[in-house]
A = this chain, B = another copy of it.
């Protein structure tokens, strides 16, 4: 029981740290989210915090992973459609610090040998897969026509979202949801055979 108890306690502490880090980053952005503040709020010293996460890099990567799981559970899994994806984007406007962490860290991690490089490669594939599934569902439900290259359309939506969010960080008046909705409409419009009947 002793070791198992310690292991379970470690897991619980890790969860607590992630929840606090998510909150601190969401409010302050990644540069101002100090490990000191996170450590204080979970009642640990900084070395104590680093016992749970080997490095600041690992902590950030796990914060991003925890955020993806949250968004998946909260928005996309209940509504695995493009609309569910837009709910995630809508939520992003409330957590600018996380969007900033994601954007900066994705760019930073592209350097050869960065410890989070594999994480981002995996994540890109995962997001593209979710969007591709949403497009397939839209086809099944008759919202999207047959003439769409699903992988290509998913790529475009992911790239446009990623690019847009950096613009939005600089200019919060940009309506990401409206812009992505128009991309979806563009894909939808061109997805029907030209001689076919377009839904109203």
Contacts and interface: CB of A to CB of B under 8 A. Distances in A.
A140 to B, nearest CB: 22
Contacts of A171: 121, 124
B100 A110 contact: yes
Interface in A3-44: 29, 31-32
Nearest to A101: B107
Contacts of A110: 100, 103, 166, 169-170
Contacts of A117: 170
This chain's copy number in the assembly? 2
A172 to B, nearest CB: 10
Contacts of A162: 159, 162-163, 166-167
Interface in A146-179: 149, 152, 155-156, 158-164, 166-167, 169-171, 179
Interface residues of A, number: 41
For the residues of A in contact with B, the DSSP-based class is helix
A111 B100 CA distance: 8
A74 interface: no
A183 interface: yes
A108 interface: yes
A163 B131 CA distance: 15
A189 interface: yes
Interface of A: 29, 31-32, 100, 103-104, 106-111, 117, 120-121, 124, 149, 152, 155-156, 158-164, 166-167, 169-171, 179, 182-183, 186-187, 189-190, 194, 198
19 contacts: A31-B108, A100-B107, A104-B104, A106-B107, A110-B166, A110-B170, A121-B170, A121-B171, A124-B170, A124-B171, A149-B182, A159-B159, A159-B160, A159-B161, A159-B164, A162-B163, A163-B164, A186-B187, A186-B190
